Structure 1
Amino acid sequence: MRATVDGNASVTNGEPSAAAAWLAPLILAILVIDAFITLALEVLYLPTYFGSTGFPLSGVLAGPVNILLVLGARSVSQRTAAMFLPLAAWTFGFLVCASTGPGGDIMLASDWRTVLLLFCGLVPPLVYIYIRVNSGLFSRR
């Protein structure tokens, strides 16, 4: 028998090694935690100003950061559900930040910057996942 190596984990005789079996869920858990951390930083820096003009740079950077999180999940697992894990954590955190706390405080204001953060944080990674899942449809033409 010949040992083969998969692109994502070392495989011997068709079975994943013990290290790859526990390392993939650990990396996915770290990516989910990283999604919460990046959202916290994006919400924190969303109301930044240059002079007297609002400049939500963190809202624009949310898209590339979330695409990198999805790419990280894809490098561990080829399953579509695994690619959605960091994005689902980011969305859950966004909804928590948009709701009122026990004292009535809201972390995200109801203005265009919040909409920009939501749009830029979700649309680019969802488009990437859509293209990745349906890549066979695009190449047949």
Structure 2
Amino acid sequence: MTVTPQPLTARQRGLLVLLSFDAFLLGLLELFFLPLRLDGIVLPKLGDAPIPLTVVLAVLTTPLLVMMTAKVIRPSFSVIPLLVWVLVVLVMGVTGPGGDLVLVQDWRALLLIGGGALPGALALGGGLGRAAKAGKGGNHG
């Protein structure tokens, strides 16, 4: 027996657009503030050390967006905010506004990409696995 998914309601489409826009804005914010340093300009002067605060933001918010999409829309659509975030970070990081290279070329870039994509992918896989298990259990139970 095949189950055809119902089309998204207008409310669900609006929420999907909102969550995707959130992923877009968070990707930009995390990318543009990645080069923060303790140099006395924005943060206090403490030895000019790099402090990638936006990686922590990415680790927390990317899986949250994925889980929210799975919860309020449908688990199969939860990949969309993750893809939006990854595309924003990669495309804007390399091409940037005016052709500038925004993504810093050191360990912080890898930390940002891994810190946002890995937890988001784990949340995506967990949500899809739970949905598949619930669907499988519902058909046989």
Q: Give me the TM-score of the superposition, normalised by structure 1.
A: 0.75
Are the aligned partners of 1:60 and 1:116 in contact in 2 as well (CA < 8 Å)?
no
Consecutive aligned runs of 4 or more in structure 1 exceeding 4 Å deviation: 101-104
Q: Where does the alignment leave 5 or more consecutive residues of structure 2 unmatched?
A: 1-5, 39-45, 134-141
* Match in the other structure for 1:111: 106
Write the mapping of 1:58-97 to structure 2, written as runs, cut at 5 A.
Answer: 58-80=54-76, 82-97=77-92
The counterpart of 1:45, out of the listed 20, 29, 33, is 33
The counterpart of 1:130, out of the listed 125, 131, 135, is 125
* Match in the other structure for 1:31: 19
Q: Deviations over 1:24-69 (max 9, x none)?
A: 0000001111111111111121111222111101012202101111
Q: Where does the alignment leave 5 or more consecutive residues of structure 1 unmatched?
A: 1-15, 137-141
Amino acid at match of 2:67: L
Q: Could you say what secondary structure the match of 2:78 adopts?
A: helix
CA distance in 2, matches of 1:94, 1:30: 18
Amino acid at match of 2:68: G
CA distance in 2, matches of 1:29, 1:42: 20
Q: Higher helix proportion, which one?
A: 2
Alignment RMSD: 2.4
Number of aligned residues: 119
Percent identity between matched residues is: 32
* Match in the other structure for 2:53: 57
Q: Give me the TM-score of the superposition, normalised by structure 2.
A: 0.75
